[in-house]
Amino acid sequence: MIADVPLFPESASHLSEQTDNLFWFLFGVSAFISVLIFLLIAVFAIKYHRRAPNEIGAPISGSLKLEIAWTVIPFVIAMIMFAWGARLFFNMAHPPPQAMQIFVVAKQWMWKAQHPEGRIEINELHVPVNRDVMLTMTSQDVIHDLFIPAFRIKADVLPNRYTSMWFRASKPGRYHLFCAEYCGTNHALMGGWVTVMEPADFEDWLSRGERGRSMVESGAVLFQNYKCANCHVEDGSGHAPSLMGVYGAPVRLTTGQTITADDAYLRESILNPRAKIVAGYRPEMPSFQRILNEEQVLQLIAYIKTMSAGKPLQTTGSELSNPAR
Amino acid sequence: MSAVPPVEVEHHENYLNTSYGVWSWLLTTDHKRIGLLYLVSVTFFFFVGGFFATLIRLHLMTPQGTLVDAATYNKMFTMHGVVMVFFFLIPAIPTVLGNFLVPLMIGAKDLAFPRLNLASWYIFNAGGLLMIYSVMRGGLDTGWTFYPPYSSLYSNTHVVSAVLGIFIAGFSSILTGLNFLVTVHTMRAPGMTWGRLPLFVWSHYATSIIFVLGTPVIAITLALVGIERIFHLGIFDPSLGGDPVLFQHLFWFYSHPAVYIMVLPGMAVTTELITTFSRKRLFGYGFVAAASIAIAVIGFFVWGHHMFVAGQSFYASMVFSILSYLVAIPSAIKVFNWTATLYKGSISWATPMLYGLGFIGLFVMGGMTGLFLSALGVDVHVHDTYFVVAHFHYIMVGGTVMAYLGGLHYWWPKMSGRMYPEGLAKFAAVVLFIGFNLTFFPQFVLGYLGMPRRYHSYSPEFQVLNVMSTAGASILAVGYLLPMAYFIWSMRYGPIAGPNPWPGTGLEWLTASPPPEKNFEVTPVVTWDAYDFPNRHDLKYPAPTPGFTPAQTWPPE
């Protein structure tokens, strides 16, 4: 039984190796310094063990040279650790632009992942091997945290905000997926599995199952059902600004400020439309806070992203996931 | 027992026998008696927190959990954390040892505000009782970190009474800190310059700065959680227009410096132990004193390292990472100076020294693993796993509790006038050290493997390490119960200690054991530096063994 006890986690992403390298560097340096201190303490404690009850220690009260040495050397080592850690973190924080998108909504106590092509899975995440994958995540209630130990990544998932993380799985297999931020009673049960598949198997998996509409198609249906186009007229002549090509474009607000229309801005404009008003328009739009859930908001945004001049309203989902394809 | 100095037969009046009766204790303004009152309070809370820890470790023996359901488990780890942090670790050393010793060490008759000191004890207990009330009514399940919106909207447990308890207890911290600061500034005996203060006093001074500056922030932050819960004002809950990350900033702005509230007094005790039991001046006195202040100051600027994966900006994380490495340097300086103090010392292996050396070892482990957590890329993996749990237990239990126990043994003769049983005490110290490492070392491995904290059930591959940890905890429990038993025993049956059994150099050892009510018969005049063994002509050492010439002895040739 003891022989089966794992002592080191499986490594299954391009990042996990880099994290482990830094870990072993930290381990080596700190083990060396710790053992040095332990040895010194042990040697001194034995060698200078009191031999007579009236013995006292040597009259030594310090050394400037030593003080400088053990201030400067640890400082230099610490800065190396900082720089290495920061470089790794920089990679983690900056997903490649071509990454495949998956959208995750967390709620007490489950993970719901939506693939742009339309497949939805609960407490499971299927991804292809050797491909950059970016997760865009939000929470329907409290703070959660998506943690995949084999990939050495985690990120908090917050209500009312999108956070993201990315990885490139390097080895097919099944790996733990945990919630790492305490979220209430069944926090420990809010987990599942990440399945890394060969690309062909993944395409096969995507096309199987009860395949509904793609995210963009679902978004288009919502767009029609809630009559968004009544005000958001294509040529800009309606009560509300045109949404053609709005994603990623600069938007001037009534405050005079200019911002970029990203996911967070679109989400806020749907759920809390009065927070930021486009210059030249009046705050007339009702809030969809209690009408749409987070998955539907993601679908609407997916659809809005596809809206650009000269494009038909109906598109296929795969275009969203990877513009380069 | 042979090391115990000659029995002092005559009866002297001291702070313990100057008056009797319950009210002479409950209405006392004597800092020494208040220190003992705190000793009773924090010991009570230690065993409450320890009770929950026991249940946690028993529950985690099997992957599905042996003892309780998920909701109850969540309450247990929350109450373990809240009680241990706010009602044991933060107050323990300053209010018990600090209260008792700061006036004695600077040659004062009492603290600057004796009645405020008594009021602090009542305020502390009022907060503590409110916390016990919350526990009795069914407890709370937010984690000791109280993160909203879970704490402010979703939890159905007794959050309001609990945060009110912490809010109230906070005033006790503020008042104690204020009392220490004023006392150290204004009440030092003639000749007790800043450069001659024992490091114990320096560290308590640094701790007091954090008490006074930091505690109001946590008090207000937790009050806001209560207000949001009761009145649904949108402060932290996004569905009301608040920001949950704002809470995390405010919470850690106090709660990270609070780590230094817990460990600086531990360093204070360790410095006294290392010097006394090496009979040597502290190596680099000025550097160790400055390091205490540096830790207190830089410690206020590292809070964001608790939030590397919380969605704060990438650049903020960079700044907090580099500052976290900077705050490690003064701690490293202290460790190196303690180690260098041992060099060419006359080292005794008495029980307090075992705790002192144990503190250094465990603190080094805790500090080194802190470097892992400060490294941004590695923290992403180990954040919120058992790696963090192991790390802070090494600092707080391995560090603070070891130092607290070491300090209790060292000053027990001063506090009670009697010695504890040395052989049994050494045995308990070794049991504690082994039990501690067996409990918490496996948790480092569990953490890097990816076991998240605050899980009532876990994946089967984590079981063996969890069982090891539980086994260690049962050894650790024995190590805590033993001193409790023999300290009580020694109050009646321990050999009489005499004024200075070790001998130590601090002013507290110049007066009788236990000290008289006003501390000193004559106000001492200080003409020597701290830990100045070679020049302390008044220290009396036991007679040397015939026919043996040690390297350095008193009196010098």
Q: What confidence score (pLDDT) does residue A134 get?
A: 95
Decide if A54 and B70 are in contact by the 8 Å CB cutoff.
no
Distance from CA of A312 to the nearest CA of B (A): 36
| Judgement on whether residues A105 and A203 belong to the same structural domain of the protein | yes
Give percent above pLDDT 90 in chain A: 52
Tokens 């531990």 -> residue: B266
Residue B516: DSSP 8-state: P
Nearest chain B Cα distance for residue A264, angstroms = 13
- Kind and range of the H or E element at B239? none
Q: Which residue of chain A comes nearest to B146, CA vs CA?
A: A182
Position A210 scores a pLDDT of 65
**If you compute the radius of gyration of chain A from its CA atoms, what whole number of angstroms results?**
27
Clarify whether residues A171 and A253 are in a common domain. no
**What is the per-residue pLDDT for A316?**
41
Do A230 and A281 lie in one domain? The reply is: yes
What pLDDT shows up at residue A233? 85
Answer yes or no: do A202 and A248 share one domain: no
B278 touches chain A (CB under 8 A): yes
Q: Which of residues 511-540 of B touch A (CB under 8 A)?
A: 533-534
- Which among B376, B457, B534 is the nearest to A88, CB-wise? B376
Contact residues for B136 (Cβ-Cβ < 8 A; gap 6+): none
* A300 and A243 housed in the same domain: yes
Distances (CA, A) of B458 to A104, A179, A186, B473: 23, 12, 12, 19
Which pLDDT score is estimated for A324?
Answer: 35
Q: What is the CATH number of the domain that holds A276?
A: 1.10.760.10
Give the DSSP H or E segment for B191. Answer: none
Q: pLDDT tens across B37-68, in order?
A: 999 999 999 999 999 999 999 999 999 998 99
Same domain, A271 and A254: yes
Residue A24 lies in a domain: no
Smallest CA–CA distance, residue A97 to chain B, in Å, is 18
The predicted structure's pLDDT at residue B77: 95
Contact B322 A156 (CB under 8 A): no
Report which residue type is found at B183: T
The structure tokens listed for B516 are 């008289």
> Which residue of B lies nearest to A165 if distances are taken between CA atoms?
B309
Residue A42 lies in a domain: no
Pick the residue from chain A with its C-alpha nearest to B530. Answer: A61
* Facing B361 at nearest CB: one of A38, A63, A89: A38
Q: Using the beta-carbon criterion (under 8 Å), do B325 and A82 form an inter-chain contact?
A: yes
d(CA B509, CA B150): 52
CB contact under 8 A, B345 and A48: yes
Name the domain count of chain A: 2
B-chain CB neighbours of A87 within 8 Å are 377
* Confidence label for A312 from pLDDT (cuts 50, 70 and 90): very low
Domain range for residue A182? 100-207
Residue of A2, A53, A89 with shortest CB distance to B541: A53
Q: Which residue of B has its CA nearest to A151?
A: B381
pLDDT given for residue B51 in this prediction? 95
Output the pLDDT for position A321: 39
Residues A290-304: what's their mean pLDDT?
A: 88
Q: Please tell me the distance from the alpha carbon of residue B342 to that of residue A40, in angstroms, as a whole number.
A: 9
Query: CB–CB of A59 and B534 under 8 A?
Result: yes
Tokens of B480: 């805590």
Q: What angle do CA A259, A265, A266 make, to 5 degrees?
A: 125
**Smallest Cα distance from B82 to chain A, Å:** 15
Residues A230 and A185 placed together within one structural domain of the fold: no
In a domain, A91, yes or no: no
Q: How far is B62 from chain A (nearest CA, A)?
A: 14
Distance CA A22, CA A297 (A): 39
Write out the DSSP string of B244-305.
HHHHHHHHHHHHHHHHHHHHHHHHHHHHHHHHHHHTSPPTTHHHHHHHHHHHHHHGGG-GGG
ipTM of the complex: 0.90
Is the residue at A222 inside a domain?
Answer: yes
Q: At A314, is the pLDDT very low, low, confident or very high (cuts 50, 70, 90)?
A: very low
Chain A residue with the nearest C-alpha to that of B553: A55
In a domain, A137, yes or no: yes
Please enumerate in sequence order all residues whose Cβ is within 8 A of that of B376, keeping only pairs 6 or more positions apart, or say none: A85, A86, A88, A89, B308, B317, B318, B321
CB contact under 8 A, B449 and A61: no
Give the side-chain half-sphere CA count within 13 A for B306: 24
Q: Taking the CB of residue A252, how many other CB atoms lie within 10 A of it?
A: 12
CB contact under 8 A, B342 and A89: no
Whether A227 shows a pLDDT value over 90: the answer reads no
Domain assignment of residue A23, yes or no: no
For chain B, give the number of residues.
557
Beta-carbon separation of A145 and B384 below 8 A: yes
Dihedral-angle region of residue A256 (phi above 0 means left; psi in -120 to 50 means alpha; beta otherwise): left
Predicted pLDDT of residue A315: 41
Q: Which of B274, B320, B448 to mutate to test the interface with A (most CBs of A within 10 A)?
A: B448
Q: Express each pLDDT in A88-134 by its tens digit.
A: 999 999 999 889 999 999 999 999 999 988 888 999 999 999 999 99
Query: Between vectors from CA B308 to CA B233 and to CA B74, what angle results, nearest 5°?
Result: 60
Which pLDDT band holds residue A275 (cuts at 50, 70, 90)? confident
Instruction: Tell me which of A207, A228, A246 is where a domain ends.
Output: A207
Interchain contact B371–A (C-beta under 8 A): yes
For chain B, positions 175-234, list CB contacts with chain A under 8 A.
Answer: none
Measure the CA–CA gap between B350 and B4, rounded to whole angstroms. Answer: 11
In terms of Cα–Cα distance, which of B508, B488, B495, B518 is closest to B417?
B495
Mean pLDDT by 10 residues, chain B (557 residues): 49 87 94 96 96 96 93 95 95 96 96 96 96 92 93 90 94 96 96 94 94 94 92 88 92 93 94 95 94 93 94 92 96 96 94 96 96 95 96 95 96 94 95 96 96 95 95 95 94 90 92 92 91 86 61 47
Residue A94 in any domain: the answer is no
Kindly give the residue spans of alpha helices, DSSP state H, lying in A7-151. 14-47, 64-93
pLDDT digits (tens, 9 = 90+) for A11-22: 999 999 999 999
Please report whether residue A104 resides in a domain. Answer: yes
For chain B, the structural domain boundaries read 33-535
Identify whether residues A220 and A307 lie together within a single domain: yes
User: What CATH superfamily is the domain B33-535?
Assistant: Cytochrome c oxidase-like, subunit I domain (1.20.210.10)
List pLDDT tens digits, range A231-270: 888 887 888 888 888 888 888 998 889 988 888 888 888 9
Residue B285: list chain A partners with CB under 8 A. Answer: 61-62
What is the per-residue pLDDT for A3?
A: 62
Residues A202, A247: one domain? no
